[in-house]
């Protein structure tokens, strides 16, 4: 069994996809658990409803750095309150994006720290988006770790080896998307090859970033098998060993979830 640790089922629904079929296709590909990610607290009700409707789908609550200024102000207390729902298993996605800079950097940083506080207080993993912001991301994470530890994952990792190693040293996971399979991703593959297997997760970030051989199609959770296969080759393990390791890593980090055999 594999886990798609990060997808956006609400985006697929918005695009007219039948989520019952999307989830069923994932299950047929032995993707036993999905986490659909919140990017706007103002749309959290939709995210929560999707998770409530599908037994093997969980969700997060948070504000993407792109939305840090446009979303109504949300503090840690509000995130903590929303995270009490039994299907909410993570805080985010949050973080810093200096590539697009759709929100001012200071707004992104303030939102990031509010999410970290919520993660620390709830014990739910922080789901971090970082792009072209390695130094500030690490500085904030290390500063906040000094106030008290919290679990977390760098999602859709494409950053430097330096950032990956610093985050692993902090006890954070690194989640690998379909970008790993792209022809141009040689530097990423070289970095991931050197990371410990017990720190790795896999994800689709669907509907974005469909892996080879699905490039050009809308990404969906079932396609995470292709990323996992390429990651297994890179790490020198069998697909079964890779699936076992990344699934164990997921349930250790996202400890509020239940494995399929544990679900009631």
| 6 carries a ligand binding annotation | yes
> Given a cut of 50, is residue 263 above it in pLDDT?
no
| 8 carries a ligand binding annotation | yes
Quick: pLDDT tens for 94-141.
999 999 999 999 999 999 999 999 999 999 999 999 999 999 999 999
> Given a cut of 70, is residue 230 above it in pLDDT?
yes
> Given a cut of 90, is residue 261 above it in pLDDT?
no
> Given a cut of 70, is residue 264 above it in pLDDT?
no
| pLDDT at site 260 | 85
| 115 carries a ligand binding annotation | no
| 54 carries a ligand binding annotation | no
Distance CA 55, CA 74 (A): 28
Taking residues 164-189, report their average pLDDT. 98
Average of per-residue pLDDT values in the chain: 97
Distance CA 21, CA 24 (A): 5
**Token pair of 243 as six digits:** 């699936």
Closest CA to 199 of 137, 248, 241: 248
| 226 carries a ligand binding annotation | no
> Given a cut of 70, is residue 83 above it in pLDDT?
yes
**Token pair of 69 as six digits:** 């200024």
Strands 152-154 and 31-36: unpaired
Give residue 78's pLDDT band: very low, low, confident or very high (50, 70, 90). Answer: very high
| 165 carries a ligand binding annotation | no
Domains along the chain?
2-262 (3.20.20.140)
Spatial contact of 34 and 7, defined as CB atoms under 8 Å apart:
yes
Distance CA 232, CA 240 (A): 9
- pTM, two decimals, is 0.97
**HSE-CB of 98 using CA atoms within 13 angstroms:** 10
> Given a cut of 80, is residue 171 above it in pLDDT?
yes
Chain centroid, CA 73 distance in Å? 23
- 18 contacts: CB under 8 Å, gap ≥ 6: none
Closest CA to 205 of 223, 192, 188: 223
DSSP letters spanning the chain: -EEEEEE-HHHHHHTT--HHHHHHHHHHTTEEEEEEPPS-GGGHHHHHHHHHHSTTEEEEE---GGGTTTSPP--HHHHHHHTTSTTEEEEEEEEEETTT-SS-HHHHHHHHHHHHHHHHHH-PPEEEEEES-HHHHHHHHHHHHTT----EEE-S--S-HHHHHHHHHTT-EEEE-GGGGSTT-HHHHHHHHTS-GGGEEE---TTS-PPTTSTTSPP-GGGHHHHHHHHHHHHT--HHHHHHHHHHHHHHHSTTS--GGG--
């Amino acid at each position: 069994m594999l886990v798609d640790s990060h997808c956006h089922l609400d985006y697929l629904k918005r695009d007219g996809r039948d989520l019952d079929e999307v989830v069923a296709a994932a299950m047929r590909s032995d993707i036993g658990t999905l986490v659909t990610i919140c990017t706007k607290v103002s749309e959290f009700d939709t995210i929560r409803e999707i998770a409530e409707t599908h037994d093997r789908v969980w969700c997060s609550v948070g504000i993407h750095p792109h939305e840090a200024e446009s979303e109504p102000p949300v503090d840690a207390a509000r995130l903590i309150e929303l995270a009490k729902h039994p299907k909410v298993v993570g805080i985010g996605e949050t973080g810093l994006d200096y590539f697009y800079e759709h929100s001012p950097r200071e707004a992104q940083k303030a939102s990031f720290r509010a999410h970290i506080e919520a993660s620390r207080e709830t014990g739910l993993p922080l789901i971090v988006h970082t792009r072209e912001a390695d130094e500030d991301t690490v500085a904030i994470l290390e500063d906040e770790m000094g106030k008290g530890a919290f679990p977390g994952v760098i999602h859709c990792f494409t950053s430097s080896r330096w950032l990956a190693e610093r985050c692993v040293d902090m006890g954070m996971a690194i989640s690998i998307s379909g970008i790993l399979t792209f022809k141009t991703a040689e530097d990423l593959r070289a970095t991931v090859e050197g990371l410990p297997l017990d720190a790795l997760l896999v994800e689709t970030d669907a509907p974005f970033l469909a892996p080879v051989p699905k490039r050009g199609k809308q990404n969906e959770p079932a396609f995470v098998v292709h990323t996992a296969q390429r990651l297994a080759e890179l790490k020198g393990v069998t697909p079964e060993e890779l699936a076992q390791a990344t699934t164990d890593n997921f349930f250790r980090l996202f400890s509020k979830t239940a494995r399929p055999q544990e679900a009631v």
